[in-house]
């Protein structure tokens, strides 16, 4: 009886030790992400993007601006080398705005990366990344690397790297490097970030209209996705 009690106590200690170890690991992962992810709920900025596509001699480069609101969604506006805009409300309502103003649903790799990476980053969805990825500091201690753990996520991604930089003049910038399942590398540098101290969907909508006064319909679609059917 005494031996059984000792064995039970030993087993409980092992279980408790494993739980504590797992808890510490999650805490470390959350800490790495919290140092990178935005603290604000509404902000805008600029981005530069580079895609290294297999078979092309030079990478594809683009740049533009964006607005994100946790109450509305995301406007991702590419200015060059061609005009294109992505409107992302949620997983069910996301669109590409063509140069002529027509809308089409997001598909393929673009939709996947927007849904599973960039929007989650802007949302600062730490729980999602901790649940879906193995998170670690790179050997040079300059970046945080995420590798998908589920088979579903591995079908779309191989890895994600985040590198945050702060400069007295330029402010905060975030480099996101995505290696997808096809071997294509997409590097996005988010910079010139401006946060807005506003609350509620109405104020977010008004801020959106100020930023995109010539394309207010984009803000209207974020506020009311059903408007997309009328365009």
Q: What is the pLDDT of residue 102?
A: 83
Q: What is the pLDDT of residue 61?
A: 92
Q: What is the pLDDT of residue 23?
A: 41
Contacts of 40 (CB under 8 A, 6+ apart): 195, 196
CA torsion, points 221, 106, 56, 51, in degrees to nearest 10?
60
Return the SS3 of 42: strand
Task: Give the fold, CATH level 3, of 25-230.
Answer: outer membrane lipoprotein receptor (LolB), chain A (2.50.20)
Return the SS3 of 55: coil
Domain boundaries, the chain: 25-230
C-alpha to C-alpha distances, 77 to 29, 49, 68, nearest whole angstrom:
31, 12, 11
Q: What is the pLDDT of residue 202?
A: 93
- Provide the b/e sequence for 21-34 (b: ≥16 CB within 10 Å): eeeeeeeebeebbe
State how far the Cα of 36 lies from the Cα of 135, in Å rounded to an integer: 13
Spans in the chain with pLDDT lower than 50: 5, 8-25
User: Residue 119 in contact with residue 74, Cβ under 8 Å?
Assistant: yes
Beta partners for residue 73, in sequence order = 69
Q: What is the pLDDT of residue 230?
A: 61
Helix (H) / strand (E) containing 34: helix 2-34
Q: And the tokens for 37?
A: 């992810």
Question: Is the four-CA dihedral 106, 144, 147, 56 of positive or negative sign?
Answer: positive
pLDDT, tens digit, 9 for 90 and up, residues 116-158: 788 888 888 899 889 989 999 888 888 999 999 988 888 888 9
- Provide the b/e sequence for 121-144 (b: ≥16 CB within 10 Å): bbebebeebbebbebeeeeeeebb
Q: Residue with structure tokens 């480069």? A: 61
What pTM does this model have? 0.81
């Amino acid at each position: 009886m005494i031996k059984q009690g000792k064995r039970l106590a030993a087993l409980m200690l092992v279980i408790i030790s494993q739980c504590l170890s797992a808890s510490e690991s999650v805490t470390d992962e959350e800490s790495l992400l919290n140092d990178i992810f935005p603290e604000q709920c509404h902000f805008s900025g600029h981005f530069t993007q580079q895609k290294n596509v297999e078979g092309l001699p030079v990478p594809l480069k683009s740049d533009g601006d964006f607005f994100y609101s946790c109450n509305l969604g995301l406007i991702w506006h590419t200015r060059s080398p061609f005009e294109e805009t992505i409107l992302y409300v949620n997983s069910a309502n996301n669109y590409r705005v063509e140069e002529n103003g027509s809308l089409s649903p997001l598909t393929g790799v673009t939709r996947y990366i927007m849904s599973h990476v960039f929007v989650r980053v802007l949302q600062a969805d730490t729980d999602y990344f901790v649940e879906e990825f193995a998170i670690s500091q790179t050997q040079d201690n300059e970046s945080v690397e995420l590798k998908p753990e589920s088979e579903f996520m591995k079908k779309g991604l191989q890895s994600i790297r985040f590198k945050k930089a702060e400069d007295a003049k330029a402010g905060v910038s975030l480099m996101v490097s995505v290696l997808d399942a096809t071997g294509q590398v997409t590097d996005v540098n988010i910079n010139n970030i401006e946060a807005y101290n506003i609350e509620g969907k109405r104020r977010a909508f008004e801020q959106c209209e100020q930023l995109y006064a010539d394309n207010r319909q984009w803000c209207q679609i974020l506020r009311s996705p059903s408007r997309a059917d009328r365009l």
